[in-house]
Chain A
Amino acid sequence: MPKATLSKDEVKAMLILACERIIAAEPMLSQADRDLGDGDHGMGMERGMRAAIEKLNAAEVESIEKAFSTVGMAMMSSMGGASGAIFGTFFRNGGKALNGKEAFDAAGLAAFLKAGVDGVKQRGGAAIGDKTCVDAMEPAANKAAEVAGESLPEAIKAVAAATEAGKDASKAMVAKFGRAKTLGEACIGFPDAGACSVVVIIDAFRDFIVA
């Protein structure tokens, strides 16, 4: 049955599902990165998500905020590289926006995504159109703000579709960041690997909430 709101334990379970989905998607993410970069994105994300599962399972989760920030800290510490800083910042900053919340709903989803993408943009300096994970995160955050008044299952379905569309739009872009930027127009036709990871994570959120 679709879930109207999530408790802190359900948020933890949803995050663990997202981690497992990233681990399973490692070959796809690595291939996506090989098309544009040095091909280590999938392995880095896998390392980060394995560390996140370990940390989430190590103790009782104190709060919704803490569940998200635990994932962020684990990713940042275990991955390093640009992806560790970016995805670590996404989950940590996003989690801060949920401070004091005892139930995760559509408004919480919107707050999480907005704070998360703002943190990423500030840290890395990327904007929409630069062919980075921001091209999936920002459409997700914008859509979530639009549907913040709807039920959580309806909201996450709309957000997942917007995230996927954002990732697909990145195919046509010329990269302005990371190793892909040196490819110039040769990177057209391939989606950004970080944007692909965002889709895997948001799809997992959707499947957990809607199931």
Chain B
Amino acid sequence: MSQANPAKKIINNPLKCADELFEGLVLAYDGKARRVGTRSIVMNGLRPDAPALLVGGGAGHEPIYHGLVGKGMADGAAVGEIFAAPPPDIVLEAAQAVNRGKGVLFLYGNYAGDVMNFDIGAELAADEGITVKTVIIADDVCSAPPAEKHKRRGVAGLVPITKIAGAAAQTVDSLDELARIAQKACDNTRTVGVSTKPGSIPATGKPTFELADDVIGLGMGIHGEKGVGLIPMCTADELAAKILDLLFADDLALNSGDEIVFFVNSLGSTHMMELLILLRGAKPILEKRGIKIHQTIVDNIVTCQEMAGVSFSIIKLDAELKKLWDMPCESVGYTKL
């Protein structure tokens, strides 16, 4: 065990971060959600006889995924170790706790570890008589070309996707219908992220990746996965244009008159000041194309420790998604009045 703490993390034990942040998260819910089993969190007072929405993933990216448990959001979450998918028995305990006889939708980001562990968890749940459907979030445009969308990672788009699926879970009666809507939300969501500085691994304090001081990693993943290339440091307006170019070049048709949710996310330490300056740069470019922002989110929700960088997510709304979007929701990670 390393005692060094070069990242100056304010923690107790570098090997206990996942458990301790989880205990803190449960406290932050003020009794609205409870701990289940090893490391699952589940909302209290769920609607009876309804299909359930379960999210989950590795810890260390707070407030996602477990901070998206809430009213009008996810019913529960299975929480892994730092940067590691939750094991199958945690997925099972969470699935059992959220299931109300109508089955459970597993909704999570496309990472090999998550897919394997949630799949094993689904097999264990099936053994217990619980029906499971899975929708995998893969919104990261720069991680694979449109023809290989199944290889794309899940990034910041998971926030609006979970919001829409959470609203659907409040209204629909069947698991099939919940899965259909969640899949549609995924199909209509695209994200491009950039990185300027790595985060650190809590257990070691070492950086998650290396990046020179004078460059930006365009399309870089939230763990530092290589994107489409390095570009020299530039202004916020230039960067906003480059990110939007990559979004427009993808296969989500964005036409004049389309309405979107526009989500400007900080990957951790990038300041609200910069997010707002980027938003100011992006708005006229969207306007010029006739794209209408139905709602803007400027926040710090999908993070990787003190990693610096931003992502833009676009969610194209049709009548059904817009109606679900407009419902209120309340969670530690995202609240909409």
Contacts and interface: CB of A to CB of B under 8 A. Distances in A.
B223 A38 contact: yes
A16 interface: no
B87 A80 contact: yes
B116 A44 contact: no
Interface in B202-244: 203-204, 206, 208-209, 221, 223-227
A38 to B, nearest CB: 5
Interface residues of A, number: 28
A194 to B, nearest CB: 11
A34 interface: yes
A43 B82 CA distance: 11
B117 A85 contact: yes
A2 B147 CA distance: 55
A80 B85 contact: yes
B89 A179 contact: no
B81 interface: yes
A81 interface: yes
A78 B203 contact: no
B201 A86 contact: no
A189 interface: no
**Main SS of chain B's interface residues?**
loop
B113 A39 contact: no
A80 B311 CA distance: 27
B204 to A, nearest CB: 7
A195 to B, nearest CB: 15
B87 A39 contact: no
B203 A43 contact: yes
Interface string A92-106: 000000000000000
A129 to B, nearest CB: 17
Interface string A167-188: 0000000000111001110100
A40 B82 contact: yes
B206 A80 contact: no
A47 B83 CA distance: 14
A183 B225 CA distance: 7
A80 B81 contact: yes
Contacts of B225: 179, 182
A79 B224 CA distance: 22
A78 B116 CA distance: 15
A85 B88 CA distance: 8
B117 A179 contact: no
B81 A79 contact: yes
Interface centre among A82, A124, A179 (most CB of B within 10 A): A179
A178 B80 CA distance: 17
A124 B116 contact: yes
A79 B84 CA distance: 8
A77 interface: yes
B143 interface: yes
B88 A40 contact: no
B90 interface: yes
Contacts of A82: 84-85, 111-113, 116
B160 interface: no
16 contacts: A38-B224, A39-B206, A39-B208, A43-B15, A43-B203, A77-B89, A80-B85, A80-B86, A81-B83, A82-B84, A82-B113, A84-B85, A84-B87, A85-B117, A124-B116, A182-B143
